[in-house]
Amino acid sequence: MIADIKKAAEQKMQKSLDALKIDFSKIRSGRPHTGLLDHVMVDYYGTPTPINQVANVSLPDARTLGVVPWEKKMVSAIEKAIRDSDLGLNPMTVGEMVRVPMPPLTEERRRELAKIVKNEAEAARVAMRNVRRDANAQLKELLKDKQISEDDDRRGQEEIQKLTDRYIAEVEKLLQAKEAELMAV
């Protein structure tokens, strides 16, 4: 029973860590990458659809993203979706391609992004602490129902705490790497 609780807690913490990695990948550093637009939704015949499902996203050069829609009439919808997104980008249409120039990051914008990254990391830490709290509550419930001994409860809580510490250290590593990436000019 304790092993099941620990395993479930570890899976939930891993999911939180994976979600943090995805969130960090959306926050742009100095150079563009095609995954930057993945969360941008385009109005595709009345249905919000991710941009990578209606167009090819590429890197024509080091400072520009190129978006080529599969349907020609989607060009203006894609341009509007990118402009309205929270990325602060200004796309322009060149023929059938939407070019998205990536402006260089200012020092002020880098600091803002660093704050956002810290908030995302803190949210991941809180999620992991919540998983720990739930797992400990399950252990207490088993103890109350006399399905495990007090020693088993204490050992289980210690194992879950070690698990929590390990995953929070992983979050710290990711945070430091992302901050260093953001602050590099």
**What is the structure's pLDDT at 16?**
92
Say if CB 72 and CB 145 are below 8 A apart: no
| Local structure of 56: helix, strand or coil | strand
CA-CA-CA-CA torsion sign (88, 89, 90, 96): negative
Which residues belong to CATH 3.30.1360.40 in the chain?
34-101
Residue-wise pLDDT for 156-173, tens only, equals: 999 999 999 999 999 999
For the structural domain made of 34-101, what CATH number should be given?
Answer: 3.30.1360.40
User: The domain at 2-26+106-183 falls in which architecture?
Assistant: Orthogonal Bundle (1.10)
Q: How confident is the model at residue 28 (pLDDT cuts 50, 70, 90)?
A: low
- 83 vs 51: CA distance, rounded Å: 13
Domain with CATH 1.10.132.20 in the chain: 2-26+106-183
What is the rounded CA–CA span in Å between residue 24 and residue 36? 10
pTM over 0.85: no
Helix (H) or strand (E) holding 66: strand 64-69
Instruction: Provide the pLDDT for residue 8.
Output: 93
pLDDT at 52: 84
pLDDT digits (tens, 9 = 90+) for 79-129: 888 888 877 788 888 888 888 888 777 788 788 888 888 988 999 999 999
Q: Which residue has the tokens 């590593």?
A: 173
pLDDT bucket at 185, cuts 50 / 70 / 90: low
pLDDT digits (tens, 9 = 90+) for 33-85: 777 777 788 988 888 888 888 899 888 887 888 999 988 888 888 888 888 88
**Can you read off the two tokens belonging to residue 156?**
């289980």
Residues 6+ apart with CB under 8 A from 107: none
Residue-level pLDDT at 89: 80
Going by DSSP bridges, is the β-strand pair 55-61/64-69 parallel, antiparallel, or unpaired? antiparallel
Cα–Cα distance between 54 and 60 in angstroms, integer?
18
